[in-house]
Amino acid sequence: MDYRIVADSSCDAMGELKQQLRITKVPLSMSFGDTTYVDSDDMDIDAYVQAMILYEGKTTTACPSPGDYKNAFMGEGTAFGITLSGNLSGSYASAMEGKALAEQEGADVHVFDSKSASAGQTLIAIKIKELAEAGLDKLGIIEKINQYIKEMKTYFVLDSLENFIRNGRVPRLKGKLVSALNIKQILGSDGDGNIVLYHNCRGINQIVEKMASLVIKSGKNFAENNLVITHCRNLPLASAIRDAIVKSCPFKQIYMMQTRGLSSTYAYEKGVILSF
């Protein structure tokens, strides 16, 4: 079928993969004080992460406007939108407003709330491509993707909770205590787009073991599924987790990529995210 994917910039697919998946990105923005960064494809991620680490205040983010989405949805064929979890961002609500505006001008649009972010959004885009190439029509794709989102698993581990603390997603006292004890937390989606704690870890070996264990015990048919791993400037840990997983989980294909601006804001430096 003739289709396109419109994703907010929490979707980290870039370069050849982005082209293969027919993704048009609608950028979010991140602000430190008076400085605003637009999460575009040409954004210097290394410079952004360094500036984020040096800044000691709160980081704010802004989702795309309905008009931004409306413009991206216009065009030939069906536009499938994929946004950040509606429980974490206003991006989904904005995309739905943009959908209504685009449909008034004849566009064909459907928007998926990923119930995830980053790796999860890329995983959904890959699945849409597979279903379209298998010959499913729009309604068939919507039905399959809605079920796929319900069954999708997303986990992540942060080297630092600093941005979660600054932005109120973790109570300051609890976050500082976790940091002082050098505890690394494995967090993830609860299946409805909310963040919950799965494990407390000490040291790289335990992180790798626990992350791999969550995948192994998921009960999924790995041969029929893909795995996406994203990381914020931490290829060694992302690779170690991948290597531990593949020993027991023969995924159809594994994709690894660097987080872009929005995902890097919350993954912070050295964070790793996986979805399957």
Q: What one-letter code names the amino acid at 81?
A: G
Overall residue count recorded for the chain in this entry:
276
- Write out the residue range of the structural domain in which residue 174 sits: 154-275
Does residue 113 share a domain with residue 165?
A: no
Between 101 and 268, residue with greater pLDDT: 101
Mean pLDDT of 128-155: 98
Distance between CA atoms of residues 158 and 67, nearest Å: 34
Does residue 142 share a domain with residue 17?
A: yes
Domain ends where: 98, 118, 151?
A: 151
Does residue 115 share a domain with residue 18?
A: yes
**Six token digits for residue 252:** 């159809």
Which spans in 74-183 are helix H?
Answer: 91-104, 119-133, 138-151, 162-166, 172-180
pTM of the model: 0.93
Does residue 145 share a domain with residue 89?
A: yes
In the chain, how many domains are there?
Answer: 2
Residue 64's pLDDT is what? 98
Q: Residue 243: is its pLDDT beyond 90?
A: yes
Does residue 222 share a domain with residue 195?
A: yes
Distance between CA atoms of residues 87 and 75, nearest Å: 29
Does residue 218 share a domain with residue 81?
A: no
Q: Residue 258: is its pLDDT beyond 50?
A: yes
Domain ends where: 102, 134, 151?
A: 151
Does residue 140 share a domain with residue 8?
A: yes
Q: What one-letter code names the amino acid at 137?
A: D
Task: Report the CATH number that the domain containing residue 110 is assigned in CATH.
Answer: 3.40.50.10170
How many separate helices (H) and strands (E) can be counted in the chain? Answer: 11, 13
Q: What is the pLDDT of residues 157-216, one digit of tens each?
A: 988 766 665 655 554 434 444 444 467 889 999 988 888 889 999 889 999 999 999 999
Does residue 140 share a domain with residue 193?
A: no
Does residue 52 share a domain with residue 36?
A: yes
Does residue 107 share a domain with residue 231?
A: no
Domain ends where: 151, 173, 191?
A: 151
Task: Report the CATH number that the domain containing residue 213 is assigned in CATH.
Answer: 3.30.1180.10
Distance between CA atoms of residues 115 and 83, nearest Å: 8
Does residue 141 share a domain with residue 21?
A: yes
Does residue 185 share a domain with residue 71?
A: no
Between 32 and 154, residue with greater pLDDT: 154
